[in-house]
Copies of this chain bind each other. A is one copy, B any other.
């Protein structure tokens, strides 16, 4: 399961409470990579503690527990990150929609593609801003995307954007030659 790997990764960067981890999934991590509610996170942390992947290092105010990765957990994370690419389960609603877009009428396909262009532009300027903030004051820790991840997102959305423009042309050409 990938939720445990997400938690291991976050805790490897910096120890945190279940509450803090849950918040992460509402930020960039959840927006771009992996979602999870607190009702999944807390039980999962308990399971992982039982398996010796993480441990409670501190109990603070309001019953809060700070977790940290154990050596075993760090090893598990390492082997997951170094495993061959392209193995896991693929379930991407965005890409599914692109696959099925051609089930629409050509003019509606174009409408959807134009919306996508706008959406991608929004994400691109969002990520550009983020990158500039990072360049200005490089931070440590988890409160912001890593530089690698931000750059990745930027390039993906740029590719999506350019593709959508190409696709609009493509559909228009096809439609034009049909009616010619």
Residue positions of A touching B, CB distance < 8 A? 2, 5-6, 9-10, 12-13, 29-35, 77-78, 80-82, 84-86, 88-104, 108, 111-112, 115-116, 119, 123, 145-149, 151-152, 155-156, 158-160, 162-163, 166-167, 170-171
Contacts and interface: CB of A to CB of B under 8 A. Distances in A.
Contacts of A145: 99
A103 B13 contact: yes
B102 A82 contact: no
15 contacts: A12-B103, A13-B100, A29-B99, A32-B90, A33-B98, A34-B91, A81-B112, A82-B112, A85-B119, A86-B123, A98-B152, A99-B149, A152-B163, A156-B156, A158-B159
Nearest to A123: B86
Contacts of A78: 104, 108
Contacts of A112: 81-82
